[in-house]
Amino acid sequence: MRHNILIVDDEQLIRQGLRARIEYLGIDVDEIFEAENGLMALRLQEEHPIDVVITDIRMPDMDGLELIQEMQKKNNQIKFVVLSGYAEFSYAETAIRLGVKAYLLKPVSNDDLKAAFDKAYKEMEQTASVRQEVQMKKRMDREKQVYQQEKALNALFSSQEAGAVTREQLCKLCGYDEKMWAGGAESVLYLAILHINKESFEHQRFRPVDHELVRFMIRNIFEEIQAPCEKLLVNSLSDTRQMYGIFIGDDKKKLRMEVERIYLRMRSVLEKKMGIYLTIGVSRCRSQLEGKETSEARQALKQRIIYGKANIYFYEDIRILGEQEFPVSQLHLLEQYIEHNEIFKVKNLVQEIFSEELVKKYGSAYLRIMWIRILNLLLHHYERRGRNAAEIEKMLQNYNLLDRIQSLQEIRQKIIEMVMECVSTESVADANARSKIQMAIGYIQEHFAENLTVNVLAEHYGMSPNYFSSMFKKEMSRSAVNYITELRINQARELLYHSELSVVDISKKVGYEDSQYFFRVFKKYLGMTPLQYREESRK
């Protein structure tokens, strides 16, 4: 174990001598710092992690014992070795009381110096070992507590005959303090099922076996989101691609808005930064758990089959969504029009979606559903286009705007404004992206024999993988993967014709460590094996 050492002495020759002796004795050290007085030593402590301090007693402005006291206020784990002459031996008692590990009389022998550091290092290792054991025990206790909580809640949610669960029981299961519920006896709750879409495991970042890692990341993001409601997320023990969410608040309307906001916020982080895609089904709003919530959340989740994934569905909206006239097809059209920057068609379609007839038929719930659907659609468009965090944040700020709008005309106008803002800079963004794609093409041509992936290339040029792939295909009329393969196969053909290298050597030269995989790719690409190509081309 290597440590940082600080030598404090007002005489430069002594500091340099101690440094040389520490290096000569082979004492494990990461870095050695020097200070000529106590004030400089305190500054170094602010700037660097210090593990061991070797200090003189007599120094101007601040003596060694005062320095120890000041340094211990900021870090009581530092080990101190004190140097002293015979005249200052009376300080030994104070030094021992301060926890000094060695009190060495000048001149210090090599053996004494080595023994002092050995003692300090041994104590640090023992302390670190104890601390590690304590942390491990705390982590195991925490994991055990989380598992027990998951087990209890899973048993509750999976039981069809659980009956009503009192607020006190739910508090105990969720680890909430009942007194902290601002809504008192009027509190309401939603149960949600978070479903991890299979697209999350179709990129190189995560594999199907990584479901626990993905759920861990989702929970971290969920817990980081600040919200005025109580919320909890636990794993489903029966389905590795699902999680249960509980949301508790003091007002039904406000709580639904919070659930929607949390979903949009999670999506903006998970999709763009991690490639994780979620669909959420939410139960009816209730004052307590009655045993029907899981079934309701599952029914709400099934709406994804009809209306699409990567969205949030509420059980209480099923009746409205089930109506034949509900404009689901118009939403798909709207997405296409936005994708192709057809603003005139967008304006007409928004008029249809927010017509007075539909609003009168379905009421205010319809407005809420469509507002969230369109925000979700625009958010998805932003992320696929690789827009920056500031633009996405600005889009999310429109979430609560619906409550301040006074008329249908205002709603239509605001939707059109958001769409216009979404596509107005699209041409500029695409022009920048095309420039980056041209640079990426040049880079690929020079480095195709290396381990290139779409994720690596996209990150290198500051684009999302989806946007990079989309723009690359638009520019080159084929995917980046196919383009890299084409370059590799063409180079392999040249080597097969002009050289006597073996197929194994050629496969490595063009970027395939696995010669069998190269063999299969080559045959699939040209319809013949590498050796057959060599024979045919040389005829």
Range in 4-13, 93-102, 145-154, 464-473 with the lowest mean pLDDT: 93-102
More confident site: 186 or 298: 298
Q: What is the pLDDT of residues 387-439, one digit of tens each?
A: 555 666 666 666 667 767 777 888 888 877 777 777 655 545 555 677 788 88
Neighbours of 68 (CB within 10 A): 23
342 three-state secondary structure: coil
430-464 burial string, b = 16+ CB within 10 Å, else e? bebbeebbeebeeebeeebeeebebbebbeebebb
The half-sphere exposure of 396 on its side-chain side, counting CA atoms within 13 A, is 19
Query: Cα(104)–Cα(480) distance, rounded to whole angstroms?
Result: 68
Higher pLDDT, 483 or 100: 483
Closest CA to 259 of 230, 218, 235: 230
pLDDT, average across residues 495-503: 90
pLDDT at 180: 46
Most confident listed range (105-114, 184-193, 276-285)? 276-285
Q: Computed from CA positions of residues 87, 92, 98, 104, in that sequence, does the dihedral angle turn out positive or negative?
A: positive
Say yes or no to pLDDT of 192 above 90.
yes
pLDDT tens-place string over residues 258-310 = 998 899 888 888 887 788 889 999 999 988 777 788 889 999 898 887 777 88
State the pLDDT at residue 262.
Answer: 92
Q: How far apart are the first and last CA of the chain?
A: 66
Q: What is the rounded CA–CA span in Å between residue 65 and residue 82?
A: 9
Burial of 63 (0-12, 13-18, 19+ CB in 10 A): middle
**CA neighbor of 84 nearest in space, from 72, 74, 76, 96:** 96
Among 59-68, 158-167, 483-492, the least confident range: 158-167
Which residues are bridge partners to 246 per DSSP? 191, 232
The kind and range of the H/E element at 503 are helix 503-509
Q: Say whether 177 sits in a helix, a strand or coil.
A: coil
- Reading the block at residue 490, the tokens are 């063409």
SS (HEC) of 191-230: EEEEEECHHHHCCCCCCHHHHHHHHHHHHHHHHHCCCCCE
CATH topology of domain 429-538: Arc Repressor Mutant, subunit A (1.10.10)
* Domain boundaries, given as residue ranges, for the chain: 3-128, 159-319, 323-424, 429-538
**Please, are residues 212 and 188 in contact by the beta-carbon 8 Å criterion?**
no
Domain covering 3-128 in this structure, CATH number: 3.40.50.2300
Angstrom distance (rounded) from CA 518 to CA 393? 45
By DSSP bridging, strand 278-282 and strand 188-196 are: antiparallel
The mean pLDDT value of the chain amounts to 81
Q: What percentage of the chain exceeds 90 in pLDDT?
A: 12
218 in Cβ contact with 196 (< 8 Å): yes
Q: What tokens appear for 505 in the block?
A: 């050597």
- Environment class of 237 (CB within 10 Å of its CB; exposed 0-12, middle 13-18, buried 19+): middle
Mean pLDDT of 74-102: 75
Assign a CATH topology to domain 159-319. Alpha-Beta Plaits (3.30.70)
Average pLDDT over residues 519-532: 89
